[in-house]
Amino acid sequence: MIKLILQISVLFVCVCCKAQTDDDVRENVVLHKKETIVKSIKSLQELKFKKDINKSYQEVKRAIEVTRKKSNIEMPLDSLSKQFKEALLHRIIPFWEGTKWSFEGHTSQPKKGEIACGYFVSTTLKHIGININRYQLAQQLPINEAKSLVLDRTLIEVTENSSEENIKMITKKLPEGIHFIGFDQSHVGYILKEKEKLYLIHSNYTDSRGVEIEAIETSTVFASYSRFYLVPLSTNESLLKRWLTKEEIIIVKK
């Protein structure tokens, strides 16, 4: 009888130990996954164009303008797309990292003053040469900002039952590149798809953190919404042509 009790006790301890070990393994896998995501791109400065490291913001804007003027609409789409992405993602946006958020923020100078989410998008687009009224665009609802930028393409709308499903659907629908993302009725930013990973680049209202890049899986802002409006930018041929020709982007207000 004593022997049987001892055997049951040992078995109970083993089962408990195994359960605890399994929980530890699962926790370690989750932590490793989060660390891997975060390590992918920690900072916008990692994306910064090497030739711009010692240049001022104004010098970079002028350099982008010179390159834009030398280009033409007969360029292959891939080349034009790469040029646009480089200008916005690698040359302009990194200067804005760390600029604080406020609801009324509308500074036109990175790290001087504060910037709301809509003004971050409209200002950076204007500063790479898009002919757009940055005040009017920033003051619209996310869906109208999306409609303003989509031009003759079809607006992509994603509404799934969970963040995980939304991430899968966005990954499926968007090509590699940088895109506009509108969050239901109250937030906007950029979404970067690179090597099948998604990153949110926005002026983050959480704790007024401001402009930063986040892996989408770990973004509390993304997880707070279930409806998204998406517009490809670096692969939007109509937008790219208007960038070169300086044709005005008309703001959709309703």
Structure tokens at 58: 């104004």
| pLDDT, tens only, 198-217 | 999 999 999 999 999 999 99
Based on the number of CB atoms within 10 Å of its own CB, is 101 exposed (0-12), middle (13-18) or buried (19 or more)? buried
Within a domain: 232 = yes
CA pair distance 247, 132, nearest whole angstrom: 9
Q: Are 60 and 92 in contact (CB under 8 A)?
A: yes
Tens digit of each residue's pLDDT (9 = 90 or more) over 7-27: 434 333 333 333 344 444 344
Q: Is residue 3 part of a domain?
A: no
Tell me how far apart the alpha carbons of residues 57 and 95 are, in angstroms, rounded to a whole number.
7
Give the count of beta carbons closer than 10 Å to the beta carbon of residue 59.
11
Residue 229 predicted with pLDDT over 70: yes
For residue 27, being part of any structural domain is answered with no
Domain that holds residue 143: 48-245
CATH classification at residue 221: 3.90.1720.10
Burial label for 66, CB within 10 Å (0-12, 13-18, 19+), is: exposed
On whether residue 39 sits in a domain, the answer given is no
Q: Which of 186, 160, 162, 187 is nearest to 173 (CA)?
A: 160
Residue 238 CA, distance from chain mean position: 21
Calculated CA dihedral for residues 178, 183, 186, 188, nearest 10 degrees: 0
Q: pLDDT confidence of 194, banded at 50, 70, 90? A: very high
Of 196 and 31, which is predicted with more confidence?
196
Mean pLDDT taken over the chain: 88
pLDDT of 246: 96
Q: What integer pLDDT is reported at residue 26 of this predicted model? A: 42
Structural domain includes residue 31: no
Name the more confident of 11 and 149.
Answer: 149
Q: Rounded to whole angstroms, how far apart are CA atoms 95 and 207? A: 21
pLDDT of residue 39: 57
Q: Kindly state whether residue 66 falls inside one of the protein's structural domains.
A: yes
Give the C-alpha separation, 136 to 106, whole Å: 12
Domain membership of residue 254 (yes or no) is: no
Question: Is residue 10 a part of any domain in this protein?
Answer: no
**Least confidently predicted of 5-19, 28-42, 224-238:** 5-19
249, 197 Cβ separation under 8 angstroms: no
Domain count, the chain: 1
Q: Cα–Cα distances in Å, from 55 out to 24, 93, 134, 240?
A: 48, 14, 24, 25
